[in-house]
Chains A and B, each alone.
Chain A
Amino acid sequence: MKSVIPREVESLWTLFTAPTIWAVHFIGCYATVAIYCAKAASLDFGFDTVRLLLAGFTVFALAVIVLSAWLAWRQWGFGVHDPPHDEPTRKGRTLFQGYATLLLSGLSFVAVVYAAIPLILIAECQR
């Protein structure tokens, strides 16, 4: 079956995708709010706009992580094989990497959700 995303992309790089997305989202959220709050007086849009913007960014980040998780799940063989995948073969390594990527994607998903929770509860810059 031909896939839209070729299997060749599933490399060591996909392992880093989800944690990298989390890091970019984390820094993005903090930097955006910090810069907005420092310059709020000279900007003509409210904090709610910033919240909406970051909510959109969060949905995008989660979508990319889900995509990365799906690729990892495919690499892992859709859960057909059981861990620990410790055979010294190419297949063993591929399955191990897919499994590790899937777990990291799960962790990153949760971390992005946690980083986004303050967006629901923080309503304004305080100075």
Chain B
Amino acid sequence: MTDGWVAGLLQSRRSQRHLSRLCPGFIALLVLPLTSCSGTHSALDPAGPEAANVAQLFFVMLAGGVVIWVGLVAALIYSARKKREHSEESAGRVILWGGAVIPTIILCALLSYGMWLMPAIRPWVPDDQQVRRIEVTGEQFWWRVRYLDEAGETMFETANEVRIPVGEPAHFSLKAADVIHSFWVPSLGGKMDMIPGRTNPLTLTADREGTYRGVCAEFCGESHALMAFTVRAVAPDEHEAWLAERRVSGSQDAEGLAIFLNNGCGACHAISGTPANGRIGPDLTAFGERTTLAAATLRHTAEDIARFVAYPGVIKPGVKMPHFGMLPEDDIKTIAAFLKELK
């Protein structure tokens, strides 16, 4: 019955005219998604060797898929229009070759190619090799980022933003504090799960400067879709200077800090050089340097910071931070202005 319908569709002149009129519009629609192939969040716009290999694997599989699809459609058209009878024996041969032998060879080739590509997609850094080491812990619904020194000790902590030097491999030790998360920066490489109780290694290299977006790629709760982060790839000198600057704890003094401390914010958040030393929420040291807010959910503006401080649960359902909407509006604005400028 399906054969008859397909044959009818392909043979009817009216349908063919109809199809040819639809085609340009249809192709235009298909081309539309291509505009999203570039950008800070695309595996098809690689910014490092690991991601370039992932993209290459994708394009090889896409080309293979297109060849198989064209072959199948050709076989479908042939079977719908054929005039000649075929023997059962030749049909059996088609099934044997097309259904068993060729797929076995293709899968074997793909498996071998994927295995061969693996060292390039997942470069391995032995424990004793000197590389930049960064520990990232996934928490509902943000990222705790610790920069480690040569001995593996924490130099300083930050959150929701990772800085790496261009052209040097950065080695990530990925952990999870509560549930399973997954660390994925599409422009820089493949994803890696973060599993409570385990430390999973991942090495990424950026070969051009820029800001890239990373996401949590494993459903982790209500605000899973609002758990993102930014990776800033900067020149090695600039990175070195930033590390040196951040290693020294400065001192802070502002009207906003007093309100911040008086309302208990320091019980959960830490700001280097102040009495705020909470470990439950994201470290806010140098918060003013960040480009996004609430794990890359909001813009980094004083208005959005005030909105988040007042009603975090409205913006990110399931977030552990309580609402501070009961504070006087001026206090919230002062805290937001203080955080916006915090260096």
Most buried by B among A110, A120, A122: A110
B85-138: which have CB < 8 Å to A?
100, 104, 107-108, 111-112, 115-116, 118, 124, 126-127
A114 CB contacts on chain B under 8 angstroms? 107-108, 111
Given contact pairs A110-B104, A114-B107, A126 touches B112 in the complex (Cβ within 8 A)? no
B113-169: which have CB < 8 Å to A?
115-116, 118, 124, 126-127
Q: In the complex, what residue of chain A is closest to B100 when comparing beta carbons?
A: A106
Interchain CA distance A90-B331 in the complex, whole Å: 90
A50-99: which have CB < 8 Å to B?
none
A121 CB contacts on chain B under 8 angstroms? 112, 115-116, 118
Cβ of A6 < 8 Å from any Cβ of B? no
User: Contact: B112 with A113, CB < 8 Å?
Assistant: no
Interchain CA distance A114-B100 in the complex, whole Å: 15
User: Contact: A117 with B115, CB < 8 Å?
Assistant: yes
Number of A-B contacts (CB under 8 A): 22
A99-120: which have CB < 8 Å to B?
106, 110, 113-114, 117-118, 120
Interface of A is mostly: helix
Given contact pairs A110-B104, A113-B108, A118 touches B124 in the complex (Cβ within 8 A)? no
B100 CB contacts on chain A under 8 angstroms? 106
Interchain CA distance A84-B87 in the complex, whole Å: 17
User: Contact: B124 with A117, CB < 8 Å?
Assistant: no
User: Contact: B104 with A117, CB < 8 Å?
Assistant: no
Interchain CA distance A117-B114 in the complex, whole Å: 11
Interchain CA distance A113-B109 in the complex, whole Å: 12
Q: In the complex, what residue of chain A is closest to B104 when comparing beta carbons?
A: A110
Cβ of A2 < 8 Å from any Cβ of B? no
Interchain CA distance A25-B179 in the complex, whole Å: 34
User: How close is B174's CB to chain A, nearest CB, in angstroms?
Assistant: 16
Cβ of A127 < 8 Å from any Cβ of B? yes
User: Contact: A127 with B108, CB < 8 Å?
Assistant: no
A127 CB contacts on chain B under 8 angstroms? 126-127
B187-215: which have CB < 8 Å to A?
none
User: Contact: A117 with B127, CB < 8 Å?
Assistant: no
Interchain CA distance A127-B100 in the complex, whole Å: 39
User: How close is A109's CB to chain B, nearest CB, in angstroms?
Assistant: 10
Q: In the complex, what residue of chain B is closest to A109 when comparing beta carbons?
A: B104
User: How close is A124's CB to chain B, nearest CB, in angstroms?
Assistant: 9
Interchain CA distance A121-B118 in the complex, whole Å: 10
B41-80: which have CB < 8 Å to A?
none
Q: In the complex, what residue of chain A is closest to B116 when comparing beta carbons?
A: A121
Interchain CA distance A33-B179 in the complex, whole Å: 29
User: How close is A27's CB to chain B, nearest CB, in angstroms?
Assistant: 19
Q: In the complex, what residue of chain A is closest to B105 when comparing beta carbons?
A: A110
Interchain CA distance A56-B116 in the complex, whole Å: 22
A120 CB contacts on chain B under 8 angstroms? 112
User: How close is B101's CB to chain A, nearest CB, in angstroms?
Assistant: 10
Interchain CA distance A110-B111 in the complex, whole Å: 12
B124 CB contacts on chain A under 8 angstroms? 126
Interchain CA distance A31-B126 in the complex, whole Å: 23
User: How close is B52's CB to chain A, nearest CB, in angstroms?
Assistant: 20
Interchain CA distance A126-B202 in the complex, whole Å: 13
Given contacts A121-B118, A127-B127, 12 further A-B contacts (CB under 8 A): A110-B104, A110-B108, A114-B111, A117-B108, A117-B115, A118-B115, A120-B112, A121-B112, A121-B115, A122-B115, A126-B124, A127-B126
18 contacts between A and B (CB under 8 A): A106-B100, A110-B104, A110-B108, A113-B108, A114-B108, A117-B108, A117-B111, A117-B112, A117-B115, A118-B115, A120-B112, A121-B112, A121-B116, A121-B118, A122-B115, A126-B124, A127-B126, A127-B127
